[in-house]
């Protein structure tokens, strides 16, 4: 276990290749939604459209995004064993998981 960020040195779950791909696809779908919302908040911040109670927080600012990317890497490492898994996501993930379509 890494004492700085509490990320295990090996994946915390044993997955076969199909389970691994499904987990990566699901994580990437969720992160895509989070990224879209972050982008909207950032655009609203740039245009001065955020309410005053939000402006005082770091939501939608660059440091917030940097923390999110770091957290994503820690989650990847804990679940999959590697910091980056984006290239392993299925391109046609919605075809593989039609229930994920809105």
pLDDT for position 10: 76
Domain that holds residue 54: 17-100
Q: What is the pLDDT of residues 24-66, one digit of tens each?
A: 898 988 999 889 988 898 899 899 998 988 888 877 778 888 9
Choose between 76 and 94: higher pLDDT. 76
Report yes or no on 89 lying in a domain: yes
Q: 68: which 2 tokens?
A: 């999110």
**How confident is the model at residue 70, as a pLDDT?**
92
- Whether 78 maps to a domain, the answer reads yes
The pLDDT of residue 3 is 47
d(CA 94, CA 26): 10
Q: What is the DSSP letter of 87?
A: G
Domain count, the chain: 1
What's the pLDDT score for residue 12?
A: 82
8 located within any domain: no
- Using CA atoms, how far apart are residues 26 and 56, in angstroms rounded to an integer? 32
């Amino acid at each position: 276990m890494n004492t700085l960020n509490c990320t295990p040195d090996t994946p915390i779950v044993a997955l076969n290749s199909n389970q691994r791909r499904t987990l990566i696809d699901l994580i990437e779908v969720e992160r895509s939604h989070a990224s879209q919302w972050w982008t909207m908040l950032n655009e609203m911040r740039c245009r001065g459209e955020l309410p005053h109670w939000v402006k005082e927080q770091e939501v939608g600012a660059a440091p917030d995004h940097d923390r999110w990317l770091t957290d994503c890497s820690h989650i990847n490492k804990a679940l999959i064993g590697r910091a980056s898994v984006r290239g392993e996501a299925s391109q046609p993930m919605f075809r593989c998981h039609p229930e994920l379509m809105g």
